[in-house]
Amino acid sequence: MKGVPPEHTKFKKGQSGNPKGRPPIRDIKVVLQDLLSQEKNGTQLIDGLMSVVVNKALKGDLKAVDMLLSYTFGKATQRTEITGAEGAPIEVVNNDLTKLNLDELKQLKEIALKLERDK
């Protein structure tokens, strides 16, 4: 029969075709720590990398400045408070959007677009 493998090469019923399973994947943090702790010309790679980032920041590279500041002090959190007219709380009258009429849906769309533009 053409296309049928010999009996001795077929998978055995109830036996895994890969008994050892997938080989373990190394954790990316461990790999990077190992790599960056290596020395080249008497200097650890992490020191050389940080030197490059600091020099770029000193030359005005804003991405390098952002990277240094965020890794040193953490990312700044941004809080947004939404209030009604003159700081009053927003009153939710109808929280079921399926009950809105066409005009109300158009108003809601305009508000959403305005908020998106103002980001």
In terms of DSSP H, where are the helices of the chain? 28-36, 45-58, 62-73, 102-117
Domain edges within the chain: 26-77
Q: How far apart are CA 114 and CA 119, in angstroms?
A: 9
Q: Residues 103-110: what's their mean pLDDT?
A: 85
Q: Would you say 94 and 100 are in contact if contact means Cβ atoms under 8 Å apart?
A: yes
Q: Would you say 51 and 58 are in contact if contact means Cβ atoms under 8 Å apart?
A: no
Closest of 24, 51, 49 to residue 35, by C-alpha? 49
The two tokens of residue 57 are 């920041």
16-63 pLDDT, tens per residue? 778 888 888 889 999 988 888 888 888 888 898 899 999 999 999 999
